[in-house]
Structure 1
């Protein structure tokens, strides 16, 4: 018999899925207008998102004025709102509509060139623009494997999985079995996707500078490169508000190929910074990227004094 909690989760999942389906057929111009209305409300009413976004922006852009950072915070939360509203479009919209919304593709030769050399391609896909549109394009144009962690709301899992896999993407778990699947895909000269800006669990990363502040960064990348000689690129789907998307594939910072994990992680973060520079407002600054601290890792009893959040 279903518990009250499971029934509640099922009802929440149905409501969210219904919203996604209702928005799937909307024009991007309509979704952007909605985001412009809702985003400022999120910035005003959601204390957590506003506080974390502003704290991050204070750290990474210290030379900007308070007014400039507040405006960038508002723009960032508007773009994050747009991404949420566009999920139905990316996962459930007619494939030909989603493909037609990708108006520009820059740097595809980096992917094609690597595969022509008999190498796999690791795509670093930060939380920038609409990364689901990026997944849609990659899985439609290349054999593509990506790690996937089921959502906390379990009934949404089959819906999200179907949306991400509908163009042929192969989703693998975030565990050793998933890592093995990534290695096999790279050895077949395929493309794999990695989230470079998601904070890993203790023991799975190192501290490396991200906008000159230490951020705990995953060390999966150098392990994959060392065993496959894959090429690394950064990929983002830049939003062209109300019109569509421009995909940008950028050569990763050369330090990502270093065998030293700290050096490689520094290259990963530099690669993410280069992507953010395309339009800082489109990065998801509400994520607690600096949650873990070196002081905490060292077991210092006073580490809480150094916490950003």
Structure 2
């Protein structure tokens, strides 16, 4: 890394950290008002985020009118903006204040029952609502391990790590050593977190339907289940605008326990769809979920013309 790049990263990290700290003490109602102002601006001026969001919504909700999809896209980008503004709150604010913001918890018995049975719990945590608040709660109530990939802006790494680990979470790398750590945690009847909607590298996934369209989906889950007999639940922190958060733990689609990787991946995607149904506007639709295609995997020279992004 050049000295200029290093200096630029330090300046960016300093500015971002200062923003997080300045917002950490604000009321959630204030952060939501700021999001309601900034979100529409993101929709209007951030062409990339707007186009990806609207393309994804056209795929998953073809029966919905274009007018309603555009409204949903604006709402989704407002919630994504709120998540970014709430990072300082989740990572730096008084832990008692963050805990108090979680005003509802639905489905906790799924976690408690699994531990009572001597089983670990795999929490599928899609990019819905504020997943950092979910991480905060899980790591404060259960022994909790999650995979972690350092940010592109390296000086932010210690800040993010401290925020995610301050309640006792163990962060492990996204490599075989991290997978081994997840297995050990599950065999100790602990909870682990997996992001089920991140596109894996080639060779680490299979194509499975997500809203009826093939999406390249990670196959880590069936490997963990086969070796640990863990319970699988979907967990999200649904935003209650201006008031706090409601946690929802949902039993995963039964196909996640199938030994066939494609069947299991289909169950994972169905579980994510069930969580999104709680409030579609709170899902991060600006992620390129369909970037990899079966045509590309098959070596079709014309696959680029079929790409949607």
> In the alignment, is residue 258 of structure 1 matched against residue 258 of structure 2?
yes
Alignment match, 1:235: 235
User: Is residue 165 from structure 1 mapped to residue 168 from structure 2 by the alignment?
Assistant: no
Aligned-residue RMSD, C-alpha: 0.8
| d(CA) in 2 for partners of 1:290, 1:97 | 38
Aligned equivalent of 2:92: 92
TM-score (norm 2): 0.99
Structural mapping, 1:52-131, within 5 Å: 52-131=52-131
Secondary structure, aligned partner of 2:236: strand
Measure, in 2, the Cα distance between the counterparts of 1:262 and 1:105.
Answer: 32
**1:205-244 paired onto structure 2 within 5 Å:** 205-244=205-244
- Tell me what 1:305 maps to: 305
1:5: how far off? 1.0
Runs of 4+ more than 4 Å apart:
none
Q: How far apart are the structure 2 equivalents of 1:4 and 1:50?
A: 32
Determine helix, strand or coil for the equivalent of 2:168.
coil
Question: Is 1:245 the equivalent of 2:262?
Answer: no
TM-score (normalizing by structure 1): 0.99
Deviation at 1:15, TM superposition (A): 0.4
Q: CA deviation at 1:195?
A: 0.2
Q: String of CA shifts for 1:126-182, please: whole Å, max 9, x gaps.
A: 000000000000000000000000000000000000000000000000000000000
Q: Check 1:61–1:2 CA distance in 2 against 1; reply closer, same or farther (3 A cut).
A: closer
Residue aligning to 2:185: 185
Q: Deviations over 1:221-251 (max 9, x none)?
A: 0000000000000000000000000000000
1: CA distance, partners of 2:14 / 2:281: 31
Q: Separation in 2 of the partners of 1:80 and 1:131?
A: 11
CA-to-aligned-CA distance 1:258-286 (integer Å, 9 cap, x gap): 00000000000000000000000000000
Is 1:286 the counterpart of 2:286? The answer is yes
Aligned residues: 309
Matches within 5 A, 1:145-164: 145-164=145-164
- Unmatched tracts of structure 2, length 5 or more: none
- After superposition, the C-alpha distances for 1:41-67 in whole angstroms (9 at most, x for unaligned) are 000000000000000000000000000
Secondary structure of 2:249's counterpart equals: strand
